[in-house]
Amino acid sequence: MSDVKAARPVWKPAGKVHASEQPFQYPLEREFVEPDWRRLPGYKDVTAAEWEAALWQRRHTVKNLKELQAVFGPLLPASLLESMERDIKERATMSILIPPQMLNTMDEKDLWNDPVRRYMLPAFDDRNPDWPSHPKSSRDSLHESDMWAVEGLTHRYPTKVLAEMLSTCPQYCGHCTRMDLVGNDVPQVVKLRFQLPQKDRYEQMLDYLRKTPSVRDVVVSGGDIANMPITQLEPFVSALMDIPNIKDIRLATRSLEGFRTTGQKSARARSRFGAAHACEQRTPGYSPGRESNQENSGNRISRRSQSGCAAARRQHQRERASGVMLHAARSRQNHAVLLLYV
């Protein structure tokens, strides 16, 4: 055996290296704010209170080309309308479902070239004539259903799983990679449907995870969990947190893009910590509900702050009881719950 040691490799610079071109020019030419929806004919009489209400957005989600034409009126070119109609008949893999806020992000002066329109409402003339989507695309391009351990639970990687909780979203992207399962049937795709009752399907997922200690990371998705009632989502996530090997839980949603939330509504969207926990974060060592005990000596907060924290806790309890926010039933250690924007 030779005593000569092999030379350790040494990194050498590859030459001139530079960053890629920045797609945005700063400062931005146009202020990065939501456009005024009232410029669109279909929304000219919509008030700010209506526009900012998630329920109004849901009720006025566009589901077909007739409703789309009512929103844009003469701003929608006839040629584009005809091309989208042909695409629905011959190429589209997703049905139309777009909330008003998303339509408002489109450039009404150039809908043909608007990137959001092309993404959400593909036209026949947008597509390559040789292949309708990606040249390697298929019904289930990511082979997620092929890897279901139980119905709706994809186990591809040793420590990670994907839980497909439902098959609907608040909005449908024109190029969805889960078009095999998500959305309504279209002429080109008869969608896959879950066979088991929902309750049984969720219980099978949890049973599998209890029996598979190698899994530590669960992505809770769909569809989009924004369409899942909090009375169903919260018990499922809470049950995941009771499984010792599950450490990371990611709640995957795109609804933050599709629905506007402002002011107090955004505070309600906190998925892991309620308003009461903010009191703890502002005052290290302070325990809510224990304003007078010895644990808090040296970490006192003012009576006004105590009153604010108490009000925050009461508000948090009301919100949880009414089902407007996801919150764990009790504080648990060694878990991370993340609201994942996809």
Q: Are residues 73 and 114 in the same domain?
A: yes
What are the tokens at 120?
């959400």
Is 70 exceeded by the pLDDT of residue 265? no
Query: Which of 41, 112, 128, 42 lies closest to 80 in space, CA to CA?
Result: 112
Q: Which of the listed residues 90, 108, 126 is the one where a domain comes to its end?
A: 126
| The pLDDT of residue 175 | 85
Query: Strand 160-164 and strand 153-157: pairing?
Result: antiparallel
119 and 164 in a common domain: no
Print the domain residue range for 51: 37-126
Based on the fold, state whether residues 337 and 191 are members of the same structural domain: yes
Q: Among 74, 91, 126, where does a domain finish?
A: 126
- 120 within some domain: yes
Position 82 in a domain: yes
Q: What is the distance between the alpha carbons of residues 272 and 338, in angstroms, rounded to a whole number?
A: 8
pLDDT digits 0-9 by tens, 39-49: 999 999 999 99
Report yes or no: 91 and 132 within 8 Å, Cβ to Cβ. yes
Residue 52 has pLDDT above 80, yes or no: yes
**117 shares its domain with 185:** no
Residue 59 belongs to a domain: yes
113 located within any domain = yes
Do 167 and 52 fall within a single domain? Answer: no
Residue 181 included in any domain: yes
- Do 105 and 170 lie in one domain? The reply is no
Would you say residue 31 lies in a domain? no
Give a yes or no: residue 76 inside a domain.
yes
Report the number of distinct structural domains present in the chain. 2
Indicate the pLDDT class of residue 305, thresholds 50, 70 and 90: very low
Residue 171 maps to which CATH number?
A: 3.20.20.70
The token pair that represents 339 in the structure block: 């609201």
227 shares a domain with 111: no
How many Å apart are CA 215 and CA 155, to the nearest integer?
Answer: 9
Q: Does the residue 270 lie in any domain?
A: no
Residues 59 and 165 in one domain: no
User: For 18-27, 111-120, 134-143, 246-255, which range has the lowest pLDDT when averaged over its residues?
Assistant: 18-27
Average pLDDT over residues 207-226: 95
Query: Given the structure tokens 């497909």, which residue do they identify?
Result: 164
| Contact partners, residue 126, CB within 8 Å, separation at least 6 | 83, 87, 118
Say if CB 180 and CB 140 are below 8 A apart: yes
